[in-house]
Chains A and B, each alone.
Chain A
Amino acid sequence: RRLDMRPLKEAIAEAVVQLCQENLASIKEAAVLDIVYNHTFQNKRVWTVYQMTKATGGETDIFDFTAFKRKFKRRIQSSLINVTINFKEFEDNAIWIRIAWGTSYTKPNQYKATYVVYHSQTPYAFISKSINRSNLPLLCQALIVASNYGDIREMELRSHCLDSLKDIVFKRYSQTFQTHHPKPLQERNVAPENVDPRLIQEDKSEKERIQRVNREVFGDGPQPKLEFAQYKLETMFKSNPKMVNVSERESFRCLVKFSSPHLLEALKSLAPAGMADAPLSPLLTCIPHKARNYFKIKERKGVLAASLVSP
């Protein structure tokens, strides 16, 4: 027998509406509730990281939240009246901003709001991927005006997991340090799993090498959680010269995308699982250090070899 939840849901919805009416709730309360919801379920959205830079000679001012809110609202509303802007500060110094956009003729669309997460002690802002990119320049301007920065740029770093993005740009994950004196291999405290003397592992030293290389590259701690790495190739097609028409010297366009529920942990486990050589390609392992998971690979001038291009 199926339980019909609909009357129950309707009853709850009606009770909530009544409660709101009695307490003269307004859009403001609804917006703040929306922020709380999205903060709790923040990993439902895809977040892009933006980095702000100080204007030359700018000083680090003490952060004034009230002034920030005022300047932000003023900058946006000077261009667009029909907006709903709300703020909420959370425990880890994260300021959440919710913006519902309208146009000159229409009221703000409360169902397609943009969310911005800003940590005042850092030059980083995280913006939820919004469908309406035409409002993005205005949003960016308001951010730098309100936070006293000079410029803002979009980083090539995107993920569902907001905390992991913070871990990467705030450098909160366990980093590896290139040592010139490699530590002697420490015997891990693992109980001997197979005491059967009839089973002999021939390439123990190779396995230990793989573990050591992995530790050097990835560190010991948990990896930040990313779902994608994307490589856009703009390189020449290399093949038997007879096959390709020499006059067709166009770049061969190709997109390689790696996806996984937890990409970096998956990459870390490839060599130990016997699925790849160790060490992995630096194109993959540089992701947290370079704080990017979207790459463009171009031809290296002079030598026909692919090289990594960073802006």
Chain B
Amino acid sequence: MHNNKCLKENPNPNPNQPLLAYHFIQALTRINLTAHTTTSTKQRSHIIKHAAYVSMAFAAGNKRTWTHAVLLHNRFPLKTRFHRLSGSRRSFIMSLSRNKKTHRHAHLLRSLVPGGHAMEFSSLLMETANYIQYLTAQVRLMQCIVEKFDMHV
């Protein structure tokens, strides 16, 4: 099994922080321009949160499952997504093992990570790792921005 690790030298390279910042700040500036006075704070926060996830997905690149899921969710925010990998076998198995504790965890994790339902457990773990990296980067970025705003205002 060690060869798996050797092969992908680094399955999770560190996220590209300037890219993240670039996308997010672009989004913020666009929000600032367009949805200026008409939207309430709550709406703006939703929009900004959405922008955060989308810019995260952009920075992460094309190779990850969760980025596809985020962008699809962006594109079709409602029911018109056939994203869950359906298959009677998979749902059957999942329903069987839902009682076990580990699979409750797995189910929870799948609901947390975007696109998590369509993966098997080992790839779900990989996706979670990548997702966590990008989430931490995004949080750091947003904290920096908020800090700057606090300083200036």
Same complex for A and B? Answer no
